[in-house]
Amino acid sequence: MRIWQWLVENFMNGELFFYIIPIFLLIVLVIVIRLPDNEDERDLEEKKPDDGDKKLPQVPRDTPRHDTIDLTLPTESGIEVEVYYKKEPEAPAPELPPAAPRTFSEGLEKTRGGFFARLKNIFTASAVTDELIEEMEEILYSADLGVATVAHLMDEVRRNRASLQSGEAVRELLKARIRVILKSVEKPFAVGAVRPFVILMVGVNGAGKTTTIGKLAKQFTTQGHGVVVAAADTFRAAAVEQLAEWGARAGADVISDREGADPASVAFNAVNAAVSGGKEIVIVDTAGRLQNRVNLMEELRKVHRVIGKASDGAPQETLLVIDANNGQNAVTQAREFGEAIPITGIIVTKLDGTAKGGSLIGIARELALPVYFAGIGESAEDLRPFDADQFTEGLFA
């Protein structure tokens, strides 16, 4: 039977209503049930974040990276409505050009602005008088170069007095002599063939040991070396955390122990970890301050000795970290540390933050130890192999 015949027949005999009425009632029922939800959703759509309705929480802008962000919002009718915000695809972060490493000239800006700026008057004088030479001597003495070094430089000036006809000539002589002093301590740092190659870092508190270890570790891992750093400054818990952070950043293994643990045993474990893990370089951090200086020196002696027990001939380098702000005090520090353990080289830090960069001239001449690196900023690249020419040019720029 065709459908239209069936409809006509059922309409005629009244049975059609028997089917239609239940279907109609079912539709009405569905609409009634859905209505409150729709109202709430409409309510929400109309609400703006700034319309003063404090009940609506704002969607946090930096919500974690889910595909959707769901919130359950209370509405005025008391019914909770779940809202899903589709997460916008994240735009890739714009590629920043790699920061150009600082030059020595930039790192020495403060030093140039200090005593070297005062020497400018002398360097631009058209004639060289005895008063001018005396004025220069005074400025040099006030510049923390150290008495012996200033005396040496002034001897050179007086010896060549006859040929010094202009301030420019004085400048060139001084620059040449300073360059010679700095050249005598310039030595590229070389990681020798011994494995593991152990570097022990020492220095007074705050000199920059831990930071410098972080920077060095980063440079070594970037060069493809496997590095272990030893948190042998167990005097403060924060020192271990600081080194662990730097180590993680550099991709180096960190060997540590609880606060107060024996620093020598941490160093010993680190050397053994490098041997068993096939790592090439171990850098040992040490405390800069203990209850007193005698304790510190005792402890450093023990660390040095125990490292030697872990690996014959280690440490291959014992580097003294010097804060350039300390000026000539660094010479005293170096002598004190040198009496406890054999110092093999120097790293001077914070040249960028001081007007006392010239003190390195005195340190170089007095200590006659290789200056391997100079810190001229906070980033890993700002720990630079010491370059006497660049340093001299930076001072006299």
Ligand X SMILES: Nc1nc2c(ncn2[C@@H]2O[C@H](COP(=O)(O)OP(=O)(O)OP(=O)(O)O)[C@@H](O)[C@H]2O)c(=O)[nH]1
Beta strands in the chain (DSSP E): 68-74, 80-86, 197-202, 227-231, 253-255, 281-285, 317-323, 345-349, 371-375, 383-385
Query: Is 378 a binder of ligand X (CB under 6 A)?
Result: yes
Residue 349 binds what, of ligand X, Mg ion, none (CB under 5 to 8 Å, by partner type)? ligand X
Exactly one of 105, 166, 205, 265 binds ligand X (CB under 6 A); which one? 205
Query: Is 357 a binder of ligand X (CB under 6 A)?
Result: no
Residue 385 binds what, of ligand X, Mg ion, none (CB under 5 to 8 Å, by partner type)? none
Query: Is 385 a binder of ligand X (CB under 6 A)?
Result: no
d(CA 360, CA 185): 10
Least separation in angstroms between residue 345's CB and ligand X is 16
Contact range with ligand X by CB under 6 A, out of 174-182, 301-309, 361-369, 373-381 = 373-381
Query: Is 329 a binder of ligand X (CB under 6 A)?
Result: no
Measured between alpha carbons, how far apart are the two ends of the chain, in Å? 107
Phi, psi of 95 (to 5 degrees): -70, 120
- Give bridge partners of residue 229 from the DSSP assignment: 254, 283
d(CA 279, CA 229): 11
Query: Is 210 a binder of ligand X (CB under 6 A)?
Result: yes
Is residue 5 within 8 Å of residue 11, measured between CB atoms?
no
Query: Is 207 a binder of ligand X (CB under 6 A)?
Result: yes
Exactly one of 102, 177, 209, 356 binds ligand X (CB under 6 A); which one? 209
Nearer to ligand X, 9 or 378 (CB): 378
Q: Which two tokens stand for residue 76?
A: 């005025």
Residues that bind Mg ion (CB under 5 A): 209-210, 239
3 state SS of 230: strand
How many C-beta atoms lie closer than 10 Å to residue 115's C-beta?
20
Query: Is 221 a binder of ligand X (CB under 6 A)?
Result: no
Exactly one of 297, 353, 385, 387 binds ligand X (CB under 6 A); which one? 353
Chain contacts with ligand X (rule: CB under 6 A): 203, 205-211, 233, 239, 288, 321, 349-350, 352-353, 375, 377-378
